[in-house]
């Protein structure tokens, strides 16, 4: 994993009951907690800020979230300001106990219940018919609500301590890659949120799967941490919104957020996908081409391919044979190569199926559909 030196930001650090606390004017308060055994006092503090209408960034198993009290329109509005997020993009409501879904949604069908049993807590978001009571700006005026119970101890304890459902998008500036470590959140949102809770790196590394179960068959609106195959194991057939497949530039997605440019580092991104040997050859060709143009080239490639290149900026994402490891480091890779000054990032693509679908969806967006299939 790449690291960023936040020495300048944390000019004053205090050890309080073994918990690191930063206290600086105009900076967000930063606390570090044990991911398996978060300090109860710190959890209460985060919960109280949420309950009272503040913004708290906290870890989930997918990516870091930027939370606000979902019942408080002013608190929710602050999320959009802090992120620079378009107001027509609805938020996911996070809960700490399954029964809370019945306060938020009407008509949680039998398939919905089976999915919750199989995958909650975990990286699956369900789109359901909404009940009245939620702040309007959470759902961006839709008659559905997206709900998720995250599979992360720190997240669950903070939501429980808040005592209210917590609306939380990914804790990045709008358009940037989602944050998978607290440093990413600091980079994007320091000073814009009340509290940043550092619970270590996110285990999944890509966002949750968003599944619309208001239609039959259910439709995947965003591929993510739970794969289509896993969902079909429970439900039989599920559809995938054609607009989210990686060769679908012209279709309008059913999930509002999926239409925006996303996951974009500063650098231009090109994805090369297909046969492993041809991918290697094409990447070699592109490196030479961009070097000749005087560009600083960064590579975002699997461990297998990374070993074959002698280049200054190479970020190895994990093994081609274990796409979970690649998922965990993809966003950090994009951010790290950016911070190292790459002008162009050449990324290796991955086969479809399993986690490959979510990986290619994110890479495709980072690359603005600039994909070369070999």
Binding site for ligand TXA (CB under 6 A): 60, 62-63, 65, 89-92, 123, 125, 127, 139, 142, 144-146, 148, 150, 168-170, 207-208, 210, 221-222, 255-258
Q: Of Mg ion, ligand TXA, none, which one sits near residue 71, judging by CB under 5 to 8 A according to partner kind?
A: none
Q: Of Mg ion, ligand TXA, none, which one sits near residue 144, judging by CB under 5 to 8 A according to partner kind?
A: ligand TXA
| Structure tokens belonging to residue 84 | 């620079």
Q: Of Mg ion, ligand TXA, none, which one sits near residue 228, judging by CB under 5 to 8 A according to partner kind?
A: none
List residues bridging with 13 in a β-sheet: 22
Strands, DSSP E only, in the chain? 13-16, 19-22, 29-32, 56-58, 65-69, 92-94, 124-129, 144-148, 166-167, 195-198, 209-212, 219-222, 239-240, 268-273, 297-301, 313-316, 344-348, 371-373
Place of tokens 């949120």: 193
Place of tokens 């270590």: 200
> Cβ of residue 146: shortest distance to ligand TXA, in angstroms?
3
> Cβ of residue 100: shortest distance to ligand TXA, in angstroms?
15
Considering beta carbons, is residue 45 or 222 the nearer one to Mg ion? 222
**Region label for 7, one of left (φ > 0), alpha (ψ between -120 and 50) or beta (otherwise):** alpha
Label the pairing between strands 313-316 and 56-58.
unpaired
Q: Of Mg ion, ligand TXA, none, which one sits near residue 89, judging by CB under 5 to 8 A according to partner kind?
A: ligand TXA
Cβ 72 vs Cβ 135: under 8 Å: yes
Considering beta carbons, is residue 125 or 170 the nearer one to Mg ion? 170
> Cβ of residue 185: shortest distance to ligand TXA, in angstroms?
11
Residues 158-177 that bind Mg ion (CB under 5 A): 170
Considering beta carbons, is residue 172 or 302 the nearer one to Mg ion? 172
Rounded to whole angstroms, how far apart are CA atoms 279 and 32?
A: 41
> Cβ of residue 308: shortest distance to ligand TXA, in angstroms?
33
Q: Which residues contact Mg ion by CB under 5 A?
A: 170
């Amino acid at each position: 994993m790449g690291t960023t030196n936040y020495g300048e930001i944390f000019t004053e650090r205090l050890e309080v009951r073994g918990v690191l606390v930063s206290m600086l004017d105009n900076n967000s308060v930063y606390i570090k907690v044990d991911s398996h055994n978060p300090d109860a006092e710190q959890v209460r503090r985060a919960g109280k800020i949420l309950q009272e209408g503040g913004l708290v960034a906290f870890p989930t198993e997918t990516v870091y979230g930027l939370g606000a009290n979902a019942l408080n329109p002013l608190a929710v509005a602050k999320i959009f300001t802090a992120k620079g997020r378009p107001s027509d993009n609805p938020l996911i409501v996070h809960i700490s106990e399954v029964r809370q879904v019945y306060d938020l949604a009407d008509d949680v069908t039998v398939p919905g219940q089976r999915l919750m049993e199989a995958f909650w807590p975990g990286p699956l978001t369900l789109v359901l018919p909404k009940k009245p009571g939620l702040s309007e700006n959470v759902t961006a005026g839709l008659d559905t609500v997206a709900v998720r119970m995250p599979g992360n101890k720190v997240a669950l304890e903070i939501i429980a301590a808040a005592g209210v459902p917590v609306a939380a998008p990914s804790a990045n500036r709008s358009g940037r890659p989602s944050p998978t470590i607290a440093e990413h959140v600091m980079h994007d949102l320091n000073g814009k949120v009340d509290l940043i809770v550092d619970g270590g790196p996110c285990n999944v590394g890509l966002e949750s799967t968003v599944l619309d179960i208001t239609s039959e068959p259910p439709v995947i609106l965003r591929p993510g941490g739970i794969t289509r195959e896993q969902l079909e194991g429970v439900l039989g057939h599920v559809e995938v919104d054609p607009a989210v497949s990686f060769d679908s530039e012209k279709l309008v997605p059913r999930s509002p957020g999926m239409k925006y440019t996303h996951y974009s580092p500063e650098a231009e991104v090109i994805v090369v996908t297909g046969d492993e040997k041809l991918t290697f050859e094409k990447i070699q060709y592109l490196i030479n081409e961009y070097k000749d143009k005087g560009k600083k080239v960064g590579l975002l490639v699997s461990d297998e391919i990374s070993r074959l290149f002698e280049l200054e900026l190479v970020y190895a994402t994990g093994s081609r044979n274990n796409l979970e490891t690649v998922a965990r480091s993809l966003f950090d890779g994009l951010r790290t190569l950016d911070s190292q000054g790459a002008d162009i990032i050449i990324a290796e693509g991955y086969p479809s199926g399993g986690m490959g679908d979510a990986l290619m969806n994110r890479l495709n967006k980072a690359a603005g559909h600039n994909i070369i299939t070999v």
